[in-house]
Amino acid sequence: MIAEAGLAALWLAAALALLQLFLAFSGTKGGKDELLGAVRPTAVAQGLLTAFAFGALITLFLRSDMSVLLVATNSHSMKPWLYKFAGTWGNHEGSMLLWVTVMGVAGAAVALFERALDRATHMATLGAQAAISLGFYAFLLFSSNPFARIDPPPPDGQGLNPLLQDPGLAFHPPTLYLGYVGLSVAFSFAVGALLTRRVDAAFARAMRPWVLAAWVLLTLGITAGSYWAYYELGWGGWWFWDPVENASLMPWLAATALLHSVTVLATRDSLRAWTIMLAVVAFSMSMVGTFLVRSGILTSVHAFAVDPERGSFILALLALYIGGALALFGWRIGSVKEGALFQLASRESMLVVNNLLLSVILGIVLIGTLYPLMTEAFGHKVSVGAPYFDRVAGPLALALMVAMAVGPLMRWRRDELRLVGRRVALPVLIAVLLVVAMSVFAAGRIGLLPFLGLVVAGSVGVASLLPLWRRKLWRTPLFTWGMVIAHLGCAVSLAGMASDSAFTTEKLIAARPGDTIRTAGWTLRFVSITPVAGDNWTALQADMQVDRGGAPVLIHPQSRFFASPPTTTTEAALLTRWNGQLYVVLGEEVEGGRWQLRVWWKPFVTLIWLGGGLIALGGALALIGREKRGWIGKWRARRAEV
């Protein structure tokens, strides 16, 4: 019954999306206001229905209803409840249902809370949102129905991939999708503005909070995913340049560029066409990413089902939406007037530099991700790995960090280079001191990129705080704080990345219980191997006492065996200290009762995710600051009327 109700809700939501599309565009074209009046309630109802359908699927998973095909193939009654719950989106159909749910709820939010946009553009935006949703409803209902039944139901399910049986699954996909799909709002805004030809500062001010919100969630999702991969896969790495990781990074790069160009448009009414373009590109990257992941066209560690039918369905959607938006852009943007112009030495031009660098990095990642596909079309098999991305994108990312440090210290419209030079004197001095100090203490021991990374991180970290210099801190607007904290977060994250690749020590040994291992100032005493059992797994666990001169701590790296489906996973033992992490992985037994052990000491590696958290926090503060200003303004206006 629940499954049928969920499916009915989906069909109804799809019908409402069609209605919403019709109402918005025929109302706008024919100037029929009574039709337009029904658009917002329709959008809200659509959002509620998708949420209901998603809730129905969660319920089915929690109750382990094996008569539903999706539950039978992806769950197991023995699983802990958290993984039954998170397992809802740990599969293709469930995650696509999450996708349309986020899209429906985002559309409802735009209908309910968007007040700054003029009515015509607002309606066109909601129409565009309905048009996008419609394609994904069709995809769900015609080729990946999450509510399909199986008859007769199996006695129990096939279980969930053990790598996914982790609290990370409860957090990473939903936040990532909220960001990923939240960008659809920016896309709809851009299409709406192109249709009404109202691309101006007011439009940018209306769009900015939505972009910010999606971007904050996307940042959180990527950060969480990176940390999850880091501790779950047991490779000791935090980013592998895997196609699916790139698929989440590309929308983030585009959204970061959009965030900055929308600010220029909102404050200075410049970069009109460019902002619209970026808004289209950001969500296009989300869709391209989904296509790459879901079609199985590229092989990756995120192995999802390969299904050309699904792949061609998404490709058709891509062609329709992105192609349509780009065609609309080409056809309409000529009639949008050029925005205001600005001097070369100004904050606007620094933001243009930011946008150019981000776009180039995006292009590098996109080409690197698709290159194997391109060469394969011509009969060559090539795989593009980390060395390419590190070497090509790394230097540009460092240049971007430098621009990020200088930009906020420049004035809008025009500035004097002499004055800017004076403002950046301190960070430059710090950079010089760092270069000298590290050349003396660590010359030849670290590669060029990590070396530069550490220098830039130290110098930019200080520079990012300079906008607060000589200001009354409690009078400084919240969004300035947000910018400072987000930029500081970038420096902190970079410091972690550079430190990890410069100073990590790795030891791979075979040891017997009773042996003592010494590495990087740590002493590890391998006490014993004991079998342990969990809810739905059994494991061999190494008990080790570790210390570096203080009291010893017990750690327990495990090698886990899951019965359904039969898989072995490694559970790394992580010991976090203020200046880094000890990362221990238990491998296989080798001959003679010895066990393979991998021991990493990773100085300051935690800064990577701390920085990611700071970036998201900065975005959240900026969002609250901007919105609060709007609320206070409204409240004052209301007071003035009384």
Partner 1 sequence: MRGWLIWTPFVLFLAFVGLFASGLFKPDDHVIHSRLVGQNLPAFALPPAASDRPGLTSAQVATGKPRLLNIFASWCVPCAAEAPQLMALRQAGVEIDAIAIRDARPDVDRFLARYGNPYARIGLDARSAVQIALGSSGVPESFVIDSKGRIAYQHIGDIRADDVPMILDRLKAAQ
Q: Would you tell me which residues interact with partner 1 (CB under 8 A)? A: 273-274, 277, 281, 284, 288, 291, 295, 297, 306, 308, 311-312, 315, 318-319, 322-323, 326-327, 329-330, 333-334, 370, 373-374, 376-377, 590-591
Minimum distance from residue 204 beta carbon to partner 1 (Å) = 17
3-state SS, one letter per residue, for 497-514? HHHHHHHCEEEEEEECCC
What angle in degrees, to the nearest 10, is found between the helix axes of 92-113 and 119-143? 160
Task: Give the amino acid at 560.
Answer: R
Shorter beta-carbon distance to partner 1: residue 316 or 554: 316
**In the bound complex, what is the minimum distance in angstroms from residue 403's beta carbon to partner 1?**
21
For the CB of residue 184, give the shortest distance to partner 1 in the complex, in Å.
Answer: 17
Q: Which residues pair with 508 in a beta bridge?
A: 598
How does DSSP classify residue 337?
P
Token digits for 114?
């968007």
> Tokens for 546?
């570790």
The nearest distance, CB 292 to partner 1, in angstroms, is 9
Measured in degrees and rounded to the nearest 5, phi and psi for residue 214 equal -65, -40
**Nearest residue (CB) to partner 1, 255 versus 314:** 314
CB-nearer residue toward partner 1: 550 or 592 = 592
The angle formed by the CA atoms of residues 573, 574 and 577, to the nearest 5 degrees, is: 150
CA 531/CA 511 separation, integer angstroms = 17
Q: Please, how many CA atoms are within 13 Å of residue 268, restricted to the half-sphere of its CB?
A: 21
C-beta pairs of 474-480 under 8 Å, 24+ apart in sequence = 477/625, 477/629, 478/621, 478/622, 478/624, 478/625, 478/628, 479/621, 479/622, 479/625, 479/626, 480/625
Phi-psi region of 234 (alpha: psi -120 to 50; beta: other; left: phi over 0): left
Q: What are phi and psi of 303, to 5 degrees?
A: -75, 110
Nearer to partner 1, 336 or 478 (CB): 336
Beta strands in 66-122 (DSSP E): none
Q: Pick between residue 110 and residue 292 the one whose CB is nearest to partner 1.
A: 292
Instruction: Please state the closest distance from residue 598 (CB atom) to partner 1, in A.
Output: 14
Q: How far is the CB of 544 from partner 1 (least distance, A)?
A: 23
Interatomic CA distance for residues 253 and 240, integer angstroms? 17
The answer to whether residues 485 and 478 touch, using CB atoms and an 8 Å cutoff, is no
Nearer to partner 1, 123 or 257 (CB): 257
Closest to 467 measured CA to CA, from 512, 407, 551: 407
What tokens does 509 get? 């040994």
318, 319, 323, 324: CA torsion to nearest 10:
-90
64: enclosing H helix or E strand: none
**Bond into 565 cis (ω within 30):** yes
Q: CB of 579: closest distance to partner 1 in angstroms?
A: 34
Question: In whole angstroms, how close is the CB of 397 to partner 1 at the nearest point?
Answer: 23
**Rounded least distance, CB 563 to partner 1, Å:** 22
User: Shortest Cβ distance from residue 331 to partner 1 (Å)?
Assistant: 9
By beta-carbon proximity to partner 1, the closer residue of 177 and 313 is: 313
Task: Work out how close the CB of 319 gets to partner 1 at its nearest, in angstroms, rounded to a whole number.
Answer: 5
Question: Whose Cβ is closer to partner 1: residue 18's or residue 333's?
Answer: 333
Report the length, in residues, of the chain.
Answer: 642
Token pair for residue 630? 């709007």
Strands in 3-111 per DSSP E = none
- Based on CB atoms, which residue is closest to partner 1, 376 or 416? 376
Sole residue written with tokens 């219980």: 513
